[in-house]
Each structure stands twice: as C-alpha cells, then as structure tokens.
Amino acid sequence: MLPIFYDTLALQFIQRLDDIVFAVSKMEVLGIRMQKATMSPYFNTPFQREKGNHFNWKTRTLLKTLYFINLAVFITCMVVVTGRQVSGYYQCESITASWGDEIWRKAIVMWPQDSLQYPPGLVERMVLAYDYFDGVYVKDGSRTMNGRPIYIEMKKSDRTPFDMVAPSVNPYHHDGSGSYAIDPVKPAIIKYCEGRWILSHEYILKSTDETVSMGISIHLI
C-alpha cells in the first residue's frame, strides 16, 4: 500500500510541475520559443481566443513572480521531505514488541564457535517461546537493511544494550569463589527483508544450513 501512495504522490508532483511550466511558458517567462510552442495550434478543432485576459506588464510581472515563488516553495518542500526520508527522520527510534504465547517446539539452535557455555558449534533442537523476545527494540544508528532501520533488542530490566562480555565470577558468591564461564546474551533484531518485517536471531536457524537464520514474519503498525 505504501508504494502505491508514493507513486500517486510522485504523479501529482509531475502533473503540478507540468501545469506550472506550461503556464509560465505562455507568459514568455521561459523564452519566446517556449511561448510559441505552447501557443501554437496543434488541434484540428479551432479554439476561440478568450477575451478580457490581456494584462498589463505590471500584472504579468506579478503573476510571473507568484508562479516562481510557488514553484520554489513546492520544490523546497519536496527536497526537505525526501531528504528526511532518506536520513530516517520519520522512522521510529524504538518499538515495543509483544509476540504472544506461541511456541516453536523444534527450533534449531546453533551455538557460536567461541562459546564458553556450550560445546562450540553445537547444533540442537529446543523449545522456543516467542515471548522470550518481548521487550523494547532500539534503532541501530550505524546500519540499515533495504533502506529500512534495524532494531536491536534491549535488556528487559533497564532497556539498555546487552553487555558484550559476560561476567566470569558468580555475583552471588561474595567471597570471589564460584567462577564460571557463560556466554554474553546475543540480542535479537527486527529487520526489513523481502517486503516484510521479520524477527531474527543469529543463533536460531530455520534449517541445519548455517546460512539460513530464523526469520519470523511480523507486522509493524
């Protein structure tokens, strides 16, 4: 639906621009050749010349100025809106996702090669509850996909980014004992792919092929 809206807006812009150029050409603003081209008869049916539309030079100058101001304002607005669209000015800075209570019973999970918590590269099937990925997703300002923003999952506790390095000491052992090795949490992402928004995670696959990651189709309003 959105592409149709943009196509209609572009068509209206071209029609408006054509009308303005035709009108100012008739007033000799764009030169005598353009005036002759717009005033020359190209119809088999003769048209009666309208009477009473002869303006003096002051009126013609005022009309020319108004047409140019109108055109300049119109083009400026289009340039500003287009520039803001390209820069992502109108995009949401964050979204709150709620995936419901659906469950994927045989999700394929492949742990990374540098995993400390699991055998590196281990592939196993697990039960995946979609609501595990509920929460706030913030726009990644450094990358996009297909011209659309990528949203990264935040912590559920304070809505800040996940730590890049996991703790190496159990925080519940105040004496410093109980060292353990766990993997840092890898956040899920929401991205635009092939005409739809999808939820994706680097460790969760749709098949045993390592190149096919999870892609849950969603609708963003």
Give the DSSP per-residue string, 166-198. --SB-TT-TTS--B---PPPPPPEEEEETTEEE
Q: Is the pLDDT score of 171 beyond 80?
A: no
Alpha-carbon span 179 to 84, nearest angstrom: 50
Which residues have CB under 8 Å from 39's CB, separation 6+? 26
Q: Would you state the pLDDT for residue 195?
A: 80
Residue type, 160: T
Which residues have CB under 8 Å from 203's CB, separation 6+? 109, 110, 111, 112, 186
How far are the Cα atoms of 7, 131, 147, 191 from residue 1, in angstroms, in the given order?
Answer: 10, 29, 17, 19
Which helix (H) or strand (E) segment holds residue 80: the answer is helix 57-87
User: What is the rounded average pLDDT of the residues 117-121?
Assistant: 84
Per residue in 172-216, pLDDT (tens digit) is 554 455 556 678 888 999 988 888 888 888 888 877 665 555 555
Q: Would you state the pLDDT for residue 154?
A: 93
Residue type, 210: E
Residue 112 has which token pair? 């990374």
Q: Would you state the pLDDT for residue 25?
A: 66
Residue burial 109-141, b: 16+ Cβ < 10 Å; e: rest:
bbbeeebeeeeeeeeeeeebbbeebebbbbbee
Residue type, 189: I
Q: Would you state the pLDDT for residue 33?
A: 64
Q: Is the pTM above the cut of 0.85?
A: no
SS3 state at 144? strand
Q: Among 52-56, 66-70, 76-80, 156-160, name the one with the lowest average pLDDT.
A: 52-56
pLDDT interval class at 219 (50, 70, 90): very low
Which helix (H) or strand (E) segment holds residue 142: the answer is strand 135-145
174 compared with 123, residue with greater pLDDT: 123
